[in-house]
Amino acid sequence: MHADAKEAVKYFDQMRIEHGFAELLSVEEFNDPGNGYLVNDCCVFGAEVFVIQPSTGSEETLTMVKDLDDSTYTWSIKDFSNLNEDDQYSDAFTVGGREWKLNLCLKGYKSGKDKYLSLFIWLQDCEKLVPKEKVYAKYKLRILDHSQVKTIEKTDSKWFDTKEGWGFHNLIPLKELSNGYLGKDTLTVEVEFDVISVIKVRT
């Protein structure tokens, strides 16, 4: 009896160490002397195996999360007018199983220097990424208007694989901050994640 059933190639690895047939032959057929499977209370089993050498290339797996719990993080910076350091950092927060941090440049950065407020997001735990692993995020960065009328919002998407911030150099002109964005000398910024995905490469 041959039981190949025109099967597709089966792959063996650390997670899949065996393959076979759950219903190879009925007990009645096996015990029927006329079929010749059982002779003198003895049966011979065999397997014909063709081995295909594994590819030497890489295998990528993508995990994507769209319905994120606690996808929004809000950061309120108090005593804004008395801050001395140009670079301000939020506490670390977790979204999509990853740690993130916001970075606010009070006097702008690069093209926004001395003219705009700049806001960036960092993957805080990037040192935990394995080689060739990277994280994709689609997100919105906001500066909230305390009157809830003129909220500034910009959307971006980036791949994160190093400790480098991504965001906007020219988020809002510095001269406009006094127009409703500094209620009680407090600036409130926010990030909302739409999608987070992770690519892992196995060689």
Selected residue with higher pLDDT from 117 and 31: 117
Determine, yes or no, domain membership for 192. yes
Asked if the model's pLDDT at residue 39 lies above 60, the reply is yes
* Per-residue pLDDT, 79: 96
Asked if the model's pLDDT at residue 9 lies above 70, the reply is no
| CATH, residue 180 | 2.60.210.10
Separation CA 178–CA 28 (nearest Å): 88
Asked if the model's pLDDT at residue 181 lies above 80, the reply is yes
Classify each residue of 158-192 as buried b or exposed e, where b means 16 or more C-beta atoms within 10 Å of its C-beta.
Answer: bebbeeebbbbbebbeeeebeeebeeeeebbbbbb
- pLDDT tens digits along 56-105: 566 677 787 777 878 999 999 999 999 999 999 999 999 998 999 999 99
Separation CA 50–CA 169 (nearest Å): 59
Alpha-carbon dihedral angle through residues 81, 100, 168, 151, given to the nearest 10 degrees: -60
Determine, yes or no, domain membership for 106. yes
Determine, yes or no, domain membership for 8. no
Selected residue with higher pLDDT from 167 and 59: 167
Burial of 96 per CB tally in 10 Å (0-12, 13-18, 19+):
buried
pTM of whole model > 0.85?
A: no
Of 61, 163, 83, give the one whose Cα is nearest residue 122: 163
* Per-residue pLDDT, 130: 83
Determine, yes or no, domain membership for 18. no
> If pLDDT is split at 50, 70 and 90, which confidence band does 5 have?
very low
Separation CA 175–CA 187 (nearest Å): 14
Asked if the model's pLDDT at residue 153 lies above 60, the reply is yes
Separation CA 63–CA 46 (nearest Å): 40
* Per-residue pLDDT, 51: 63
- Residue 77 belongs to domain spanning: 62-202
Determine, yes or no, domain membership for 49. no
Separation CA 166–CA 153 (nearest Å): 15
The DSSP-derived string for 60-74 is EEEEEE-S-TT-EEE
Number of domains into which the chain is organized? 1
- pLDDT tens digits along 89-98: 999 999 998 9
CB of 198 closer than 8 Å to CB of 65: no
Determine, yes or no, domain membership for 191. yes
* Per-residue pLDDT, 12: 62
Determine, yes or no, domain membership for 35. no
Three-class SS state of 160: strand
Determine, yes or no, domain membership for 130. yes
* Per-residue pLDDT, 149: 73
